[in-house]
Amino acid sequence: MSGALRDIPLEEMVAKAQKGDESIQNYLLQTYKPFIAKCVSEVCKRYIDPKRDDEFSIGLSAFNESIKTYSADRGSSFLTFATLVIKRKVIDYIRYMKKGPTAVSLDESYDEEQMENPMELSIVKDRYDREEDSWYRKQEILDFSQKLGQYKLSLEELTKVSPKHRDSRDTAVRIARILQTDMELREFVIEKKKLPMKELSKKVDVSKKTLERNRKFILAMFIVLTEDYVYLQDYLKGVGC
């Protein structure tokens, strides 16, 4: 059975598991344990033992959740999607444990029991919280950079084509929101990796010339809105609404 499954593309196996094929779902959970452990260890910054570490159980559960919720329409591969879900769930778990009586650290270079000074403990916790946020933001930017590449764009290019005036940026983000919420337009952009100029011009109050001038920036904002980017989307709150 396992030999036959190895010949099936991963995304196809995920689709079958979503339709209720428990044998494939179990196969994926077993086969990708090393992948899960690697994702978890990158968050915890230490070796993860699948048999003993609670963090691995969180990662395994997150991988199973990824199988159930993945959609190829999002434009990313299953493993890219699973990586983000696993790392987010593990980070959430670590933060939750930090709030409890037993703290879980991203780095075992200090021992809370040896810290008698509450101020010292608070400073260390704050530092690691900032490091977690910085690490996760970096992961989003790396993934965003990869997604831009699928649209033949780059972060460097994006800095050059971003509208200089706030009104122009707001308009571009508003257009990206229209693309993201209109199912037909959204599917067109994801499939063709370009703007549906003809149809889009009927739904917005800007000229085709303006659409073309801001095309790359609009596509970039569409990616941010469409993907599961917590930090990047935070920059767009209230913009173009």
Q: Within its chain, how far is the Cα of 29 from the centroid?
A: 20
Could you name the CATH architecture of 2-108? Orthogonal Bundle (1.10)
Q: What is the pLDDT of residue 105?
A: 43
pLDDT above 90 (res 218): yes
User: Cα separation of 46 and 43, whole Å?
Assistant: 8
**Domain parsing of the chain, residue ranges:** 2-108, 155-234
Residues of the chain with pLDDT > 90, as a percent, come to 33
pLDDT above 50 (res 26): yes
- pLDDT tens digit sequence for 41-79: 988 888 888 888 899 999 999 999 999 988 877 667 888
pLDDT above 70 (res 31): yes
- pLDDT tens digit sequence for 161-180: 898 888 889 999 999 999 99
User: Cα separation of 228 and 161, whole Å?
Assistant: 24
Q: List the single range of 122-131, 144-153, 222-231 with lowest mean pLDDT.
A: 122-131
Most confident range (mean pLDDT) of 121-125, 143-147, 234-238 is 143-147
Contacts of 71 (CB under 8 A, 6+ apart): none
User: Cα separation of 85 and 47, whole Å?
Assistant: 20
pLDDT above 90 (res 201): no
Residues of the chain with pLDDT > 70, as a percent, come to 79
Q: What is the pLDDT averaged over residues 205-233?
A: 87
Q: What is the pLDDT averaged over residues 27-54?
A: 89
Q: What is the pLDDT of residue 95?
A: 79
Q: What is the pLDDT of residue 113?
A: 40
Average pLDDT, the chain: 81
pLDDT above 90 (res 221): yes
Q: What is the pLDDT of residue 129?
A: 60
Q: What is the pLDDT averaged over residues 185-207?
A: 89
- pLDDT tens digit sequence for 83-130: 888 988 888 888 777 765 444 443 433 344 433 455 554 555 566 566
